[in-house]
Amino acid sequence: MNPEASRPETDSHHIESDPEVKWPEENQMLVRRLRLDTEKLPHLPVEVWLLIFQLATEVPFAFLPRTESPFNLPSHPNPKEMTAELSRSLITKRYIALVCRSWNEIATPSLYGAVLLRSTRGVTAAWSTFCDSTKSDAGVLLGRHVKRIDISLRDLQMYHPGFDRERERMTERISGILQRLPNLSVFSMRTQVYNGDATGFAEALTYTSANTLHTIEWEGIDQPCDRICHSGAPWAKLVSSCPNLKSFDGPACWIFSTALHQDARLSHLSITHDDIEAWEAQPDPPTPPHIRYVSPGGRHVTHINTRACFSRAISLDVEFRSQDDLNRLLAQSPKLSQLILWASWPLMQGLTLDPSITHLGLSVYEKQTTLVYLVKGLGRLADWNIPGVKTLRLMSRHRLLEGENLQMKRVQKALQKIREAGLVLENWEGKPFV
């Protein structure tokens, strides 16, 4: 969230002019009316107002690590979905902050619980709030409330003029912000800065929030392997300083240099950078119970020696592009019972799985998903060679199988065919279709 929202009497113009947030005219009128009618609000105890604000702005799983299998209920949203939910909560928080000073003061811990920075302007505002020397005491007090920070700078693009200069400036300011967040539990950054630039972030987190940090999510720009590996040392120090670390997303070199693939504390490990040499150089170590592999940039997981991380995994989330590739991957995962596949429907049609796989999740590429396309795919599920699968979950959060669409004859016919095959079909929330 934009930290400027904490001072509505003096800086409300910064909020209302923010191009990232839509301010419908009727909502602006409502805020002005509430400002005029605050004396008519019920005089409830502070604890009651605080509970109301927390319920109104709550984002499920925002402060929790991914500690369980994705098939456990309810399922943890992916980073993109989490960002969307935090953004919606941000708008509600801003309305609360603008009503009156008393609401702003009561709700401050909730307002600053999760900070979402989506632009370079937002980073500058946050840096001014937390790090400006003229108001350092206030910045320290506000920083203590922050438990989660998500950074995704949409206006920082590699091919824009002045990218290197702006990237360096943002890196310096983000490092400064992190130094003021002593109670941070979730650090998530997915933006176009080089992986090697993360050294300052790791050092800042080690210095301020190592004791409280349980989730680290990082996705930067690919660069030569030697630079990535060189940047792994500060992360190794950070990891060794975090007694409560549960979830880590990052490049392969960082993971292997910190021995995270052998760390018994972790229940969620995601590799966000393909490094063939780093993979193939690894022995066959023990691994966490749930491994999630993300294959970016068009590369494919089975081009790599996956034995190092998947031999003990029981749950796997993976993209595949052919049945042969998937077979090679499954052969390296003898203990696998839960599988999530990212692919298009045509690739799914010839799917063949070992009987040991009992839980299957499908995440069909959204661009190819229409109601007709989805129903045709569902109608063929009963013909797949998946003898051990009992539970089938659609992992994508599209709303095609809801409301009136769910009552359509062709949809009901497809669902009935699946039931006759003995499969339980679930939506992305893990709830069965009725």
Please tell me which residue, 261 or 96, carries the higher pLDDT value.
96
Q: Supply angle C-alpha 338, 344, 347, rounded to 5.
A: 80
The angle at the Cα of 81, spanning 77 to 84, to the nearest 5 degrees, equals 140
| pLDDT (0 to 100) of residue 369 | 60
Cβ atoms of residues 395 and 359 within 8 Å: no
More confidently predicted of 312 and 416: 416
Asked if the structure places residue 357 within a domain, the reply is: no
15 vs 380 pLDDT, higher one: 380
Q: At what angle do helices 120-131 and 163-178 cross, to 10 degrees?
A: 40
Tell me: pLDDT of 324 over 60: yes
Instruction: Tell me which of 324 and 205 has the higher pLDDT.
Output: 205
Tokens of 25: 């005219």
Domain that holds residue 89: 1-253
Checking if the pLDDT of 291 tops 60, the result is no
Q: Which one of 76-85, 155-164, 333-342 scores highest in mean pLDDT?
A: 333-342
* pLDDT reading at 222 higher than 80: no
pLDDT at residue 116 tops 80: yes
175 vs 17, residue with greater confidence:
175
- Are 356 and 390 in contact, with CB atoms under 8 Å apart? no
Question: Would you state the pLDDT for residue 234?
Answer: 80
Q: Is residue 131 part of a domain?
A: yes
For residues 31 and 33, what is the distance between their CA atoms, to the nearest angstrom? 5
Q: Which tops the pLDDT comparison, 366 or 175?
A: 175
The pLDDT score that the predictor gives to residue 184 is: 92
Reading the block at residue 253, the tokens are: 């070199």
DSSP letter assigned to residue 38: G
Q: Is residue 399 part of a domain?
A: no
Residue 243 has pLDDT above 80, yes or no: yes
**Domain count across the chain:** 1
Checking 329-332 for CB contacts under 8 A at 24+ apart, the result is 329/301, 329/302, 330/354, 332/306, 332/307
Q: Is 118 helix (H, G, I), strand (E, B) or coil?
A: coil
In a domain, 366, yes or no: no
Kindly report the number of other CB atoms within 10 A of residue 264's CB atom. 9
- Mean pLDDT, the chain, as a whole number? 69
Least confident interval from 22-36, 38-52, 93-107, 315-329: 22-36
| Stronger pLDDT, 24 or 60, i.e. the higher one | 60
pLDDT of residue 231: 58
Listed range (51-55, 70-74, 92-96, 260-264) with the worst mean pLDDT: 70-74
> How far is residue 297's CA from residue 315's CA, in Å, rounded to a whole number?
23
Q: Specify the pLDDT at position 137.
A: 65
- Segment 342-363 shows an average pLDDT of 79
CA–CA distance, 214 with 268 (Å, rounded to integer):
11
The string of pLDDT tens digits covering residues 355-411 is 888 888 887 765 556 677 777 777 777 678 888 888 888 776 666 666 677 777 777
Q: Determine, yes or no, domain membership for 402.
A: no
Query: Which range has the worst mean pLDDT, 37-46, 176-185, 272-281, 312-321?
Result: 272-281
Instruction: Give the integer Cα–Cα distance in Å for 97 and 100.
Output: 7
The residues pairing with 250 across neighbouring beta strands, listed in sequence order, are: 271
SS3 35: helix
For residue 367, tell me if it sits in a domain: no
Lowest mean pLDDT among 177-191, 293-307, 326-340: 293-307
Segment of 3-17, 36-50, 186-200 carrying the highest mean pLDDT: 186-200
Helix (H, G, I), strand (E, B) or coil at 213: coil
In a domain, 326, yes or no: no
In a domain, 210, yes or no: yes
Give residue 23's pLDDT: 44
Summarize pLDDT for 123-132 with one digit per residue, the tens: 888 888 888 7
- At 55, list the tokens: 């319920």
DSSP letters spanning 323-373: HHHHHHHHHT-TT--EEEEEE-HHHHTT-B--TT--EEEEEE-GGG--HHH
User: Which range has the worst mean pLDDT, 169-178, 271-280, 355-364?
Assistant: 271-280
* Residue 190, beta-bridge partner list: 219
Tokens linked to 9 = 């009497």
Is residue 347 over pLDDT 50? yes
* pTM: predicted TM-score of the whole model, two decimal places: 0.64
Sheet holding 391-394, edge to edge: 114-117, 148-151, 186-194, 215-221, 247-250, 268-271, 290-293, 315-319, 338-343, 359-364, 391-394, 424-426
